[in-house]
Structures are given as structure tokens and as C-alpha cells.
Structure 1
Amino acid sequence: MRALYHYDEIGLLVASERTVAGHRRYTERDLRRLYRVRALRGLGLSLEEVAAVLAGAADDPESLRDLLAEQLRRLDQHAERIGVLRQRIGDLLRQTGDPYGPDPDRLMATLEVMSVFETYFTEEQRGRLTERRDALGPEGVEAARREWAGLVEEGLRHLAGGIPADDPRARDLVRRWDALAGRFHPEGPAGAETAAAARRMWRDNSAEIGANLPWPAERMSGLVAYLEQARRAG
């Protein structure tokens, strides 16, 4: 009933007749229009779009076709976002160990990192990164994780040993670091953009990201700065 009142208020479905007491009386024609409103709403169209369809569908079927095509495109985008969310939540549950009772602190820390990730990468870039990760497969991702852990340990040893950032060993480390990261980035200019975004994310949020890693956050922050110096050194 509330919907009928609202449709009447906005002029989408106005009762054709009134009783002596002033109550609305809907005719068979009104009911057919109501069914069309409900059908179009069921397709996800807004009230404004429904009104446009009902006002012009009889004279301009091509407009209805274009509107439905646009709605299908929006639904495809929404379905893609749902798929990404499903994967993220599944990954999150696996990362937290027990899907029936993940540790709240670890759960929130991971969510914070996800939020940071979305801040630095556009939706298109996130999609490309997901495609690259899927192409590597679980075994490739795990191998890269082990290799990256080894590079972290090597970099921390460089820092502890006082090896300068312009030392050939430091430049070789950053070369291998960037090559490993490159496996997860698309080729060409798009890959250079996502790689640059990843470095900015590391630089600006090393403490937050480091909180989820097995190394002290302050040491990881120092390593990120060290790698950036080695990268600039050549």
C-alpha cells in the first residue's frame, strides 16, 4: 500500500477514478500499469527509469532496448564485484586459520590492509592484479611468497650489516625484488602503474602492513626505505 501511495505522489501510477468519499479506485488499465511497474522494478530499474520506459516504450522500443542493455552492463559489473568480494572473504577466512572463529584482532588487521589496498589501486588495476595472481595459480603464489620471504631476510641482513644502498649487493637485491613483484603485475605501461602504486602503498603504510608480517614493523619500514634508496641508486 505504501508503494501505491508513493507511486501516486510521484505520478508513476495515478488512480484513474475516485470514490464518492474520495478514495482511490484503480481500474483494470491501472492494474496493468502496476504490473508493468513491478516487472520493470524487478529488473533493477530505478523509478525514474521505469517512468521513462512507460512514457515512451510504445513509441520508441529502441529506447527500452538501450536501457535494458545498460542495465545488463551494470548487473555484469555488480556480478564481477560480487565475485571479487567472494574471493576476498574466502582468502580472509583462510588467512585467519579457523573459518569458524577467526581471531578478531587478526581479522581487523587484515581488513585494514584490504582497505589500504583499495585506496592505492583503482578497480581496474585490482582486476588486473587478480588476473595475474589467478594465472600464477596457488603453487606459483606460494613459491613467490617463499622467495619473497627470503628476499626480506636478505634485505634485513643488509641493513644489520650496514651495507650501503648504492652497494652492488643492494642493487641486485632490489632488482630481484622488483622482478618477483613483476610476476603479479600486468605487462607494459599498466604494469608500471600498478608497480608504482604498490611501492607508494608500501612506503606510506609500511607500519600497518608490517603488523601482519612475521617481522617487526619498524624493521620492515626500514627495509622499504632501504629498497627505495637502492632503487634510486640504480
Structure 2
Amino acid sequence: MTGRDATGRRWSIGELARLTGTTVRALHHYDEIGLLRAAERTTSGHRRYTERDLRRLYRIRALRGLGLSLEEIAAVLADTADDLAAMRELLTAQLRGLETHAIRLRQLTERLHGLLGQLESASMPGPDQFLTTLEMISVFDTSFSTEQREQLAERRAALGPDGVETARLEWAGLVAELLRHVQEDSPTDDPAVRALVDRWDALADRFHPAGADGERTRTVARRMWAENSEEIGRRLPWPTDQMRALVDYLDRVRVGRDA
């Protein structure tokens, strides 16, 4: 690393907090203990974070996710350079933890694979890729409790990679079929529509624990979508407004079906 910012982009402390799901208070604390200090300040003294600062924040968050304390993170960062090899090692360790415990969304895992793939081509991922990954970590971690993440991880582990991939393909097919019914404004009591929704719910059951625990994780998942549909929708192959309409349609079908 030469120390130069490749993009010239700058973020205020508020912008960085909002874009990465980190609180301003945490960023102030990182500054106070010397863990992350803004590389620049304006003439009036306001912090301005650079792309290199963003990469350091990513490393801090990743190491926290691996269970290190702030003191341990400071020691690790002091002993490692901000270069391709160090970032590759960190991302590999984080990916191994994700795959072992499966406590993150599939989109996050795929994003990390993408970052590693870019590193293999000897180019540092851009700031938007780090921002996207941090955003997904924040959405998932703040939605589900540790216990719920572990329960979801157990279900994914039980399915195995092949089972997860089969479910993903089946889900994509259901989305396509149901979106057609949304566009055609098919009646919600249409037997064909209800059969599709039953298949959708049965597919979701594979990923949730049984009984009351499963009801709770489903409730959290629905709330997570309602509160973060814009962020989550950007990672789906269908327009977000269509997916919102589809989720609303599913709810209306279930209300009529369960009445």
C-alpha cells in the first residue's frame, strides 16, 4: 500500500456510521482508544474518513465478529499491514467462521466469496463492496438474537450445501410463478395460488426451527424484511418494488387461507 486513497472519496463520521451500521458513539470510542482515527480533518476540525479508514473499520468489525476484544484487535492490527495478503487472510478467516457456524445470510457469504475472488486477481475491493458487506452484517446481527442465529445455523447445517442450493433454486422458481400472479392480480383464493403459497411456506420451514422457536424466527425474518427491504432487495435479482408487492400478496393469501 502506498497510503494514497485510490478513489478520493471522504465520509463524515455521521455518514460512515449510517452507511456501515456502526454507531457514532462507537466511532468516537475507536478514535479515543486509537483503534480508528480519521485520516483527515476539515479546517473546522470535522473528521473525514478515507477509503483506507473504511478498510480498517471493516477489519475491526470482522475481527469483532470472530470474537476478539478491542484490545486484541488493536494488537492484531498493529502487527499486520493493510495489504492484499493481510486482507486475504482476514477474509478467509471470517469466511471460514461463516461457513462453520452458518450464522449469516446467504448474501453475506456470497459477498465475501466475491471479495476473496477479487483479491485473487490482485486488486483491492472497492469501498462500495465493503459498505455493502458491513450493511448486511449489521442488518442480520441486529435482527436476530445469538440464540436464534445459532438455531438458523443448525437448520442450514442439517440441510447441507446441496440441500441449501436445491432450496434456493426451488425458491427462485416460486418467486417467478408468484410474481406472474401478482402482475395478473390473480384472486387470493385461487387454488393454484394457495398451492404455491403452501409450497413457499413449506420451503421456509426447512430453514426455521420447529415449534415456538420457529414462529419467533419467522416473525423476526418478516420484521427484518419490513424494516430493511430496500437494503435486502438490492441483493436480489428482482426489482425491490416487485418483491415488496409479492410479500404483501403472500400475506393476503395467508389471511384468506387461514380465516
Percent of pairs with identical residues: 51
**Distance 1:106-1:152 versus aligned 2 partners, 3 A rule:** farther
Alpha-carbon distance between aligned partners in 1 of 2:232 and 2:254, rounded to the nearest angstrom: 21
Question: Secondary structure in 2 aligned to 1:202?
Answer: helix
Amino acid at match of 1:184: F
Larger Rg: 1
Q: Does 1:108 align with 2:127?
A: no
Over residues 135-179 of structure 1, what are the superposed CA-to-partner deviations in whole Å (9 max), with x where a residue is unaligned?
111111111111111111111111111112232222222211111
Residues 29-178 of structure 1 mapped to structure 2, 5 A cutoff: 86-87=97-98, 92-96=111-115, 98-100=117-119, 101-102=124-125, 104-178=127-201
**Preserved CA contact (<8 Å) 1:171 1:233:** no
Question: Secondary structure in 1 aligned to 2:179?
Answer: helix
Q: Could you state the TM-score of these two structures normalised by the residue count of structure 2?
A: 0.54
* Higher deviation after alignment, 131-140 or 78-87: 78-87
The number of aligned residues is 157
Over residues 67-100 of structure 1, what are the superposed CA-to-partner deviations in whole Å (9 max), with x where a residue is unaligned?
xxxxxxxxxxx99857988315765411557251
Question: Secondary structure in 2 aligned to 1:215?
Answer: coil
Alpha-carbon distance between aligned partners in 2 of 1:176 and 1:138, rounded to the nearest angstrom: 21
**Distance 1:104-1:84 versus aligned 2 partners, 3 A rule:** closer
Corresponding residue number in structure 2 for 1:208:
231
Corresponding residue number in structure 2 for 1:227:
250
Over residues 194-233 of structure 1, what are the superposed CA-to-partner deviations in whole Å (9 max), with x where a residue is unaligned?
1121122223322221110111111111111111111111
**Preserved CA contact (<8 Å) 1:156 1:219:** yes
Q: Could you state the TM-score of these two structures normalised by the residue count of structure 1?
A: 0.59
Q: Which runs of 5+ in 1 are unaligned?
A: 1-77
State the shift of 1:120 in Å. 2.1
**Distance 1:219-1:124 versus aligned 2 partners, 3 A rule:** same
RMSD over aligned CA atoms reads: 2.7
Amino acid at match of 1:98: G
Q: Which runs of 5+ in 2 are unaligned?
A: 1-63, 69-92, 99-103
**Preserved CA contact (<8 Å) 1:129 1:184:** yes
**Preserved CA contact (<8 Å) 1:133 1:141:** yes
State the shift of 1:103 in Å. 5.2
**Preserved CA contact (<8 Å) 2:112 2:133:** no
